[in-house]
Structure 1
Amino acid sequence: MKWQGRRGSRNIEDRRRAGGKAQVGGLGLLAVLAIGYFLGVDVTPFLQDGGAIGGGGGGGEITEADKQAGEFVSVTLADTEDVWDDLFRTQVGQAYNPVTLVLYKGVTQSPCGGASGATGPFYCPGDNKVYLDTSFFTTLSRQLGARGDFAAAYVVAHEVAHHVQDELGILGQANAIRAQVSDAEANAISVRIELQADCYSGIWAREVQARFGTLERGDIAEAMNAARQIGDDTLQRNAGRVPMPHTFTHGTSAQRQAWFVRGYETGDMRSCDTFSAEAL
């Protein structure tokens, strides 16, 4: 992905120097973090109760790698702004309000709860912001096996896609229904939310190439590999568990790949209607 020297977004809230410091250690902590990564559960309260994480913000030294990751995220976010601004105008008929992305290091707070390395990147509809500890890119590459800069860009684009859903009113309606049904039914709705975000991410990838020509050989393969590595079935299997479909919240590897491809091939937001699809 050609990103160096390109426009960065102004909608970045950098909390990496906010003070406080994450302190981690012990096999028990590693087990708790694994739960967070594999199941999408915010385990920050458990870490705080056990004294594993202290402080209310990020902090620590900002390394050269941190700086580069921040620049990369800023450029990727700027690309989402340009793409979705035009798509909302041409396909939706309304203005797009860009999302703010919070960069942090260690831990920080959001209206949706604590954010830490245990939560992974997420979109919070409470303040319309994406939260991202760029150290997750290292986890994505080394622990989850999703290497490459476009794999990281896919993660950013996926979280921005949740904001797109929020702007369209889809996310609010889906979450309102989830709050009124059983856990299994809520999980099934969550899968449709996530697969639609994957589809929107595919549209974003298509438009980035069409508008800016920044994709390089192998970039789409990196995104497809990332989608495979973070499928619910693959995560549960890699955690030593038998995949349990009723607990899935993001979709299988095959589903995530398929919906990304659908968005990439069609470029049409209407093709991403996972909620009307009989089969995912």
Structure 2
Amino acid sequence: MRWKGRRQSGNVEDRRGATPGGFGGLGGMGGSGGGGLSRLLPMLLRFLGVKGTIFAILALGAYSYFSGGGLGGLLGGLEGGSVQTTGAAPTGEVEQSAQEKELVEFVSVVLADTEQTWHELFKAEGQDYKEPRLVLFRGAVNSACGVGQAAMGPFYCPGDQKVY
């Protein structure tokens, strides 16, 4: 896939320099979260085909792995427990290697591509598509669905309409 030089999404929020504060546990991921995925997968298969869906999953997995999250969440290795963190504000520019910078650019291009595709698909059905924001983080992050961990792999939180 040739992606360098293509449009990057402006919907990327970089929280890699911050840590969540004051929350314990993983909370809020049950109930409404699973319904979206069960509807999304058939749509992905229908519009992207098996190869496209596999590529999308691999791209998300590669990003998760190289950003320090590992593959535990993608491979079902999520363990219980709580997240004990302290509050800290982001410290400006995030330190990143050349490889990390390239991965962030790649994910931003993939997100822009998915935004364009979903806009076209929703428009064909006479509906509007609301673009989610993609939140990059290390370790753990606060979301409207509770504290998310990098080991969980990518997840969507309907409470704040963001992908983590």
What TM-score do you get using the length of structure 2 for normalisation?
0.58
Aligned counterparts of 1:96 and 1:37: Cα–Cα separation in 2: 27
Q: Would the alpha carbon gap of residues 40 and 56 (structure 1) be closer, same or farther in structure 2, given more than 3 Å must change?
A: farther
Q: Within 2, Cα distance between the matches of 1:111 and 1:16?
A: 18
Give matches, 1:38-57, under 5 Å: 38-39=75-76, 41=78, 43=80, 45=82, 47-48=83-84, 54-56=85-87
**Residues 37/83 of structure 1: CA separation in 2 closer, same or farther (3 Å cut):** closer
Shift of 1:124: 0.5
Gaps of 5+ in 1: 21-32, 49-53, 132-280
Match of 2:154 in 1: 121
SS of the counterpart of 1:16? Answer: coil
* SS of the residue 1:101 aligns to: strand
CA drift of 1:35 comes to 6.7
Maintained 8 Å contact 1:44/1:114: no
SS at match of 1:13: strand
> Is it true that 1:14 corresponds to 2:14 in the alignment?
yes
Instruction: Flag the structure with higher helix content.
Output: 1
Within the candidate set 124, 131, 134, 1:98 is matched to 131
RMSD of the TM alignment (CA)? Answer: 2.8
Q: Which amino acid aligns with 2:99?
A: A
- Residue 107 of structure 2 aligns with an amino acid whose one-letter code is V
Q: Is it true that 1:63 corresponds to 2:87 in the alignment?
A: no
Q: Greater RCO between the two (CA within 8 Å, min separation 6)? A: 2
SS of the aligned residue for 1:80 comes to helix
**Structure 2 equivalent of residue 148 of structure 1:** none
Distance 1:36 1:81, change over 3 A: closer
Shift of 1:37: 4.7
Query: Which of 1 and 2 has greater Rg?
Result: 1
Q: Structure 1 pair 82/40, CA: closer, same or farther in 2 (3 Å)? A: farther
For this pair of structures, how many residues does the alignment match?
112
Query: CA contact under 8 A between 2:13 and 2:134: conserved in structure 1?
Result: yes
**Equivalent residue, structure 2, for 1:82:** 116
Q: Residue 152 of structure 2: SS of its match in structure 1?
A: coil
- Which of 145, 153, 161 is residue 112 of structure 1 equivalent to? 145
**SS of 1:71's equivalent?**
helix
Percent identity over the alignment is: 47
Does the 8 Å CA contact 1:56/1:109 hold for their aligned counterparts?
A: no
**Are 1:8 and 1:71, in contact at CA under 8 Å, matched by a contact in 2?**
yes
CA distance in 2, matches of 1:119, 1:96: 26
Distance 1:42 1:6, change over 3 A: farther
